[in-house]
Amino acid sequence: MNAAEMKVYYNAVDTMEKAGVDPEYIQGWQGGYVHNPEREEQRVTDAYSAGYEDGQARNADNFKAWVK
């Protein structure tokens, strides 16, 4: 990741944490953003999957649906 991508990543995660987003969504988003392999099937939740897809798309706008 270059410096600009790191800043986007950090700001997105910071915003999600401060908003009280489901930690599963955040973990999925982080993994998708950095292109980590997805979790094993038995550990995947709806929040994780949504976050993973948004992270892969570099979309930091859909997290509001996952605020607890």
2-26 b/e with 16+ CB inside 10 Å = b? eeeeeeebeebbeebeeeebbebbb
Cα separation, 9 vs 22, whole angstroms? 17
Q: State the pLDDT at residue 68.
A: 87
Integer angstrom CA distances of residue 51 from 3, 13, 43? 22, 11, 14
Domain that holds residue 59: 3-66
pTM beyond 0.85: yes
Reply yes or no on whether the pLDDT at 19 is more than 90: yes
Domain count, the chain: 1
The stretch 15-23 carries a mean pLDDT of 97
Interval 50-63: pLDDT, tens: 999 999 999 999 99
Interval 21-56: pLDDT, tens: 999 999 999 999 999 999 999 999 999 999 999 999
